[in-house]
Amino acid sequence: MPWLNMKNSSENQPDKKERVPLEDAPFTIMVFAITSFTLIAFVLVITLWVS
């Protein structure tokens, strides 16, 4: 039964080190801040240019 063999082989692998969810937080905050600022500036420029 190959499906049992696959299940057993996945259980036998050593546990990988768990990633800390917050270790990428500064990078994520920076990306969100830059993206938000760019979007706000773009909408503001387009709004002022059209009016």
4-44 pLDDT, tens digit each? 555 555 555 566 677 666 778 899 999 999 999 999 999 99
Closest CA to 40 of 48, 51, 50, 30: 48
Scanning the structure block, which residue is given the tokens 């969810």? 21
Identify the pLDDT of residue 40. Answer: 98
Identify the pLDDT of residue 23. Answer: 79
Cα gap 42→25, rounded to integer Å: 25
Collapsing DSSP to helix, strand or coil, 30 comes out as: helix
Identify the pLDDT of residue 35. Answer: 98
Cα gap 33→46, rounded to integer Å: 20
Identify the pLDDT of residue 10. Answer: 53
Single-letter residue type at 15:
D
